[in-house]
Amino acid sequence: MHRSLLVACVVLVSLGFGQFLAAEPALKEVFRGDFRIGVAVDTAEIKADGHGGAPSISHHFNSVSPCNFMKWEPFNPKPGVYRTEAADAFVDFGERNDMLIVGHVLFWHKQTPAWVFQDEQGNPVTREVLLERMRERVRFVAKRYGKRIGAWDVVNESIENDGRLRQSKWVKIIGDDFIEQAFRIAGEELPAGVELLYNDFSMATPAKRQAVVRMIRDLKAKGLRIDGVGMQGHWALDSPKTKQIEQSIVAYADAGVKVHITELDIDVLPRTKDMWNPAVAAKLEKDPKLDPYRDGLPDEVQAKLAKRYADLFDMFLQHRDKIERITFWGLHDGTSWLNQFPIKGCVNHPLLFDRDGKPKPAFHAVVAAKSEKRAP
């Protein structure tokens, strides 16, 4: 290396530009013009952004989703009690960094406090009371955040994989028109321009796909607004097939909505069919066969993961006109929920950044999917 260039590098590094010189390409720039790249974050990650070795949120991402703190339980644990500090800081952060800020989630059968469904004596409330409580929640966030939150997951996980309506407390009290009522309230209370989404897992399963398409068409026929669907993207190395995911993207777009890949991670651990049952999972906690990558991911699995991500992004790029955003569910492998689910205390490797915050082969494969211009 020429001496003056070497000196310049040493000076820059000593001035603290080391991180800048070493920085990998920003995902949001790689895919600018295709779709946004998002990440789900918690409060500590926002505070630490750019420090402490984790990947930089503001460098890589132009959309953020809240992990837990805007769900009904943590946000509004008791009637009239709102804990907004985390959400306020999250929205400020997203705004400062010019990101699409996603609200997650207005109505879900999980992480909703019991009081929502009960009167003071603990009896189930009426349909009217529950609809009013739903409206109050939406009014509150509409008043506090307005258009600063650009998209809301209005309903999460209300259709079963076989296409039937989930028999949640929402449906038991409100009736089969729960989803319709939720979108009616969201459409009336949130400002125009805020995107309203239906979000769910297994959205590539044909029976569920058909049910979601029917639901979208039904809402639209009733004059209600639904702007997008969120395909959660909690996928595995071999399933669902990329083709099946693609068929869903096309079907949802044909039904007249944008597609958001909302919770992307690729589970690399061996799974058994029944381990999704919590009682079974608890018994399997000490089984080393189900947690084989505690010391790191072997090269061959690393390569499989990279190939899976490359295939997905190749396909996403081919449908860039239909896809608005790809959001990863977690910033790096160390903080992924898949270390705790379905079995507690596993070492999973589902994301693009490893536990040290370093880009993995999967990261470079995703960048290459774009730069090799395999997409049109």
- 335 in contact with ligand GLA (CB under 6 A): no
Q: Catalogue the E-assigned strands of the chain.
A: 36-41, 63-66, 100-103, 151-156, 195-200, 228-231, 234-236, 258-267, 323-328
**Distance separating alpha carbons of residues 38 and 172, to the nearest angstrom:** 34
- What residues does 81 pair with on adjacent strands? 78
In residues, how long is the chain?
A: 376
CB of 102 to ligand GLA, least distance (A): 11
Exactly one of 263, 267, 324, 354 binds ligand GLA (CB under 6 A); which one?
A: 263
Gyration radius of the chain's alpha carbons: 22
- 45 in contact with ligand GLA (CB under 6 A): no
CB of 128 to ligand GLA, least distance (A): 28
Give catalytic status of residue 157 as yes or no.
Answer: yes
Which residue shows structure tokens 């777009």?
253
Exactly one of 168, 232, 302, 339 binds ligand GLA (CB under 6 A); which one?
A: 232
Q: Which one from 45, 195, 263, 324 is the annotated catalytic residue?
A: 263
**Distance separating alpha carbons of residues 309 and 68, to the nearest angstrom:** 26
Q: Which two tokens stand for residue 64?
A: 């953020």
- 195 in contact with ligand GLA (CB under 6 A): no
Exactly one of 58, 76, 156, 335 binds ligand GLA (CB under 6 A); which one?
A: 156
**Distance separating alpha carbons of residues 330 and 265, to the nearest angstrom:** 8
CB of 23 to ligand GLA, least distance (A): 28
**Distance separating alpha carbons of residues 75 and 70, to the nearest angstrom:** 5
Half-sphere exposure of 21 (CA within 13 A, CB side): 11
CB atoms within 10 A of CB 296: 12
**Distance separating alpha carbons of residues 70 and 83, to the nearest angstrom:** 9
Q: How many residues bind ligand GLA (CB under 6 A)?
A: 6
CB of 348 to ligand GLA, least distance (A): 12
Q: Which two tokens stand for residue 4?
A: 């003056």
Q: Cis before residue 206, ω within 30 degrees of 0?
A: no
- 337 in contact with ligand GLA (CB under 6 A): yes
* Shortest-Cβ-distance residue relative to ligand GLA: 337
Measured from the CB atom, is 93 or 201 closer to ligand GLA? Answer: 201
Measured from the CB atom, is 293 or 337 closer to ligand GLA? Answer: 337
Interface with ligand GLA in residues 69-88 (CB under 6 A):
none
- 202 in contact with ligand GLA (CB under 6 A): no
**Distance separating alpha carbons of residues 157 and 297, to the nearest angstrom:** 31
Measured from the CB atom, is 30 or 64 closer to ligand GLA? Answer: 64
CB of 342 to ligand GLA, least distance (A): 11
Give catalytic status of residue 263 as yes or no.
Answer: yes
CB atoms within 10 A of CB 114: 9
Is residue 158 within 8 A of residue 105, CB to CB? The reply is no
CB atoms within 10 A of CB 254: 11
Q: Which one from 45, 157, 189, 195 is the annotated catalytic residue?
A: 157
Give the closest residue to 351 by CA, choosing from 327, 317, 315: 327
What residues act catalytically?
157, 263
- Residue ranges binding ligand GLA (CB under 6 A): 104, 156, 201, 232, 263, 337
